[in-house]
Every structure is written in structure tokens, then in C-alpha cells.
Amino acid sequence: MADIVDDKLEEAKKNGAKYTVNVLKEDLEARVKEYTEGHGSTVSIDASGTKDSLLTLLKVTGNAGRVMTMGFSTAPVEANQFLITSKELDVRGSRLQNKMFGKAIEMINEGKLDLSGSISHTFPLTKAQEAFDFVDSRDPSIRKIVFTFDNL
């Protein structure tokens, strides 16, 4: 797990991440090589969509690996065709798991999926615009925001 916020990395460790890297403090490429004995990761997921995140994942993903992009950005990003072709990478986009919300809710209700610590903020639906503005602020404390339907 890589991020720029230490609190998110600590939460990832609590939820099973074996290794974490703060990319502002450490070299992600060097750490991935170290953790994978030089092979690179098998699957890399870009959930940030930053300017250089895709290129970085193309570099750290091992031969015949998969790079998934889930971050939402409309800005052009750099990709390196040589990395994709020479390493035989599978690069795919994903915008969520289609038709999996029912299964996820079922797993939460059965106690099989623990989301404690995932929700960082709660807003009543009547303050939806305030919540969206807060998301746009890119405050590092934001994880997931939940709308409540109390007093409607």
C-alpha cells in the first residue's frame, strides 16, 4: 500500500497490508523491488489518478503483471508503451465492481466485511453540497463520507 498520508498507511496495516510506503518519504520503486525480491508486484492498483501514478505503476509491476486504474482524472497522463509491451503488462480500467453492491451489503451484514475505520466523515443529506465541497478540498483526513437520512 502506498500513500502520502501516514494515518491511511497505518489503517492499511491494521487491515492486513503487509508493507506500506509513504511516497513522499520513500522511493516506491526501490521498496517494491525490495519487497518482491526484484520481481515487481503482480497486481498494482492506481486509486489516486495523479499525474505520474500510472507511469510509476508500469515501472513497479513485474513481468506479465496487471495494472488496474481506478482513479478518476480527466488530465492526460504519461504512459510508456515499451514498459507495457516488454513486460507484457495487462493494463485495465475499472470504475467499480458492477453488480457487486448487493453482495457487499450482504457481507457487511454477515460480519464478513469489516468497514470500521473506513468512514471518516458523516453529513446529513441536507448538507450534500457542503460534503461535496469538502471532498473537493482534498483534505487528507477524508477516507469515505457517508450521508445520513435523519430528519428528512
Position 104 confidence tier, pLDDT thresholds 50, 70, 90 = confident
Would you state the pLDDT for residue 85?
A: 97
Q: Domains in the chain, ordered, with CATH?
A: 2-93 (3.40.50.720), 102-148 (no CATH)
**Alpha carbon distance 28, 22 (integer Å):** 8
Is the pLDDT confidence value at 152 over 70? no
Tell me the helix, strand and coil percentages in the chain, rounded to 5.
35, 20, 45
Percent of the chain with pLDDT over 70: 97
Would you state the pLDDT for residue 143?
A: 83
Does the pTM surpass 0.85? The reply is: no
**Alpha carbon distance 33, 27 (integer Å):** 10
Query: Exposed, middle or buried: residue 58 (CB in 10 Å: 0-12, 13-18, 19+)?
Result: buried
Position 111 confidence tier, pLDDT thresholds 50, 70, 90 = confident
Least confident of 58-67, 93-102, 128-137: 93-102
79, amino acid identity: A
Q: Which of 104, 90, 95, 113 is nearest to 44 (CA)?
A: 90
